[in-house]
Structure 1
Amino acid sequence: MKKFTPFLCTALAVGSLNAQTLIQAYKNRADLVSQPNITANLQDFSNLGVKTTGSVNNANTLAWIKGKYTSYGYSASQITEDPFTFGSTSSKNLVITKTGTVYPNKYVIICGHYDTITGPGTNDNGSGTSVILEVARILKDIPTEYSIKFIHFSGEEQGLYGSSHYANSVAYQSGIKKLDIKLIFNLDQVGGQLGNVNSKIICEKDTGGQSGNNAASKTVTDQLAACTTLYSPLQTSISNAYSSDYMPFEQKGYVITGFYEYTRSYNEHTVDDTFANVDPVYVFKVAKAAVGAMQHFATASSTVTAASAAREKPLQTSEPVKMYPNPVKNILTVEVPDSNTKPFSVEITNLAGKSVLKEENNTQVNVSGLSNGVYFCTVKTENTSVTRKIIIE
């Protein structure tokens, strides 16, 4: 949903959040966010076309999202379709529940919509969808004290119909809160515009509706900003929540927060909201922040045992992989630690996610046969995967 949100202040994420310090286990898991996964999810979402609520493409997108959770190992009992109707239009929300170890009946909700108006909506809101999927993949087997609901809403673009249905008919019924919700964390349009400087994210807090939840929203939004700077390279700005799927919950007195891109792309609701225009590296960084924040909000296990360290081992980046020159005309030099003794691969993909060049164990990659433009170069070793944007000219 397009949001005209004034920037209020920049959050440094220090001082008032003394309790929130870097937890190594949380960082290890945030570092498991995969750029290839993010890029592939954005491309797949884009390829599903215009996802108008109630359309075949909309239903196909729900099925695609559902299939992702199944592939991550979530059971059928954890996956629920939540149907709703407005006027003559019918659609479904998708709700995936991960049960907490200490507070199984108290929920942290991370949500975003998957419907679009015009164009494939890769930014609005394939970006939020891709981030939620990556959070769900990484936290699948991580114990959390609070239960988590990963919710993908439909009907957002027509007037928050899916989230309104869930807030008013599932979470809240007949004047009673049926679900004990700790907070709602919404992601909407977090993809940026390729070519912009995308180094900052807006953290959204509640300022209206039921004033009794505003102070709590400010607290969790400050915590969101703190987690963002701890577990991702992004800077943060605090602004106001507005016109997205957290609003029906806010109106029922629940505590809300959210992410929204800082440098506006202005492609939302147009045919230009495509994979070619979104910034996958920015979405990757947002996902790292979201993984860190959700661990904090749901109180994930902070123990790193020998077994969990092996299972949750992050991609190694202490040994730098260098790619130069950038921009490159003919030969791209790739420096990989121990390249003389350890195998590695170099793969270049275009903005559509299609592989255009792949080589093994070659530090001098000839790119002269590729057209001028922006590409992604991924270098993989046994325990390292590094993806960077390169320009061929």
Structure 2
Amino acid sequence: MTQFDNSSLEVVSLDDMDWFEFQHFTAHLFEKLGFGKADEIQKGSDCGRDVILHSPSGNVIIIECKHHPKSTIGRPTVQKLHSAILTAHSKKGYLVTTGKFSPAAISYAKALGSTIDLVDLRVLADMANRAGIKLLKKGENTTVYHVLPPSKEIVNKQVIKTVVGSALSHPNKAEELTRTTINEITFIPAYLIDYSIHENFCTSVGTVHSVHREYERILVDGQYGTLIKPKLTQYVEKSCMKELWHPSQDDVIYSSGKFKIGLSNAKKRGINFVRGLHTQTVGYYGANNVHYSKKCIPKKSSVFVRSITQVYIPLLNVYSKIISIEHRLELVGNKSRVEVTKGNVEKCELCGELLTKKRLLCNSCGKVVHGPSFLGHSYICEICKKTICKECAFWTRKYIFFKKKLCADCGEQLKIRGKKIKKFELRTSGTKPYYI
């Protein structure tokens, strides 16, 4: 079993890149290897310098990129790069290709000494490996990683946190009353897409909007090609992923979806999703002082996909029981943390309203309800201090006009001693219950 580490996160398919994306990739690779910081890459005539790097020592490095897998790069291209180096007053250049170099090109580069280094596909793959980037060969399948599912302990803790929260509970703590079972774990196939996006939106009055984001991520469903909730990317962490993973809990049902869309298709869909996420309508005033609006939709070329990785994300079907109250929940997460994504939680189990303030866990039935207040959804037994919801509460006369709230056990004891004990009566108003 291989531990998922820094050296195996980024996965890049050169076959799915156009020439402009290859320039972005080359700049990213050289930056990651510590050669320097690249200037923003622009489309158009480059005069033999696709990428300009500024090294830590202050020197300028010129890089020419040729994404021609089936072509041979000749001497004229090396000469063009040499001219660009001289023009930029630089002392170093790199000619990077996904193809190969002709003998004349290699001979000319050697004659220039250390001025120009030639990087063919073999050297490029070695550099990528040192940078922690896996280059996919044509027809090669990418490694599929599993996000490790959380343990029963972590799941139980999160269920209690979500369902019960900081509710008043006496004499037992929520942990003592809750029993949680993981029924099934379904692994959702997804493509993790790492990207950057840069674009300025201009009109006759100048720049009206800009988007410049680095190291952003999205998840594309590998089965249906839809966008997965962006917040779920936080659970796809290096330290919580493994390849060739096998289930460890025998009492849990495991299932996995299948990748039905390919890497190229996922990339295209991902770029369109990114463009949609960063589309924004802005307002501005023209030179005539008239207010205009402009819908700023990023171009495809403004999105650079750094990496596409196939992952399986665990979706947990969980059954939880607090005394007699059952909860069926869906959770997603990794081995370190998890969150509830579906389930009728954080609502009062008497009135159905959101629990925004104090809440109480009934130690008789297990309901989580609004805390003691004028709403009268819960009480604390005035004899033993047990927390109870109104459905489980009894009362006896206190002085003349007041009611003494009791749990069932204390009520039974008083009844034995001859006290008159009554249960709160349920009435309905519309769809909401209330008590008298």
Normalised by the size of structure 2, how large is the TM-score?
A: 0.27
Instruction: Specify which structure has the higher proportion of strand.
Output: 2
Instruction: Specify which structure has the higher proportion of helix.
Output: 1
Greater C-alpha Rg? 2
Higher RCO (CA < 8 A, seq sep 6+) = 1
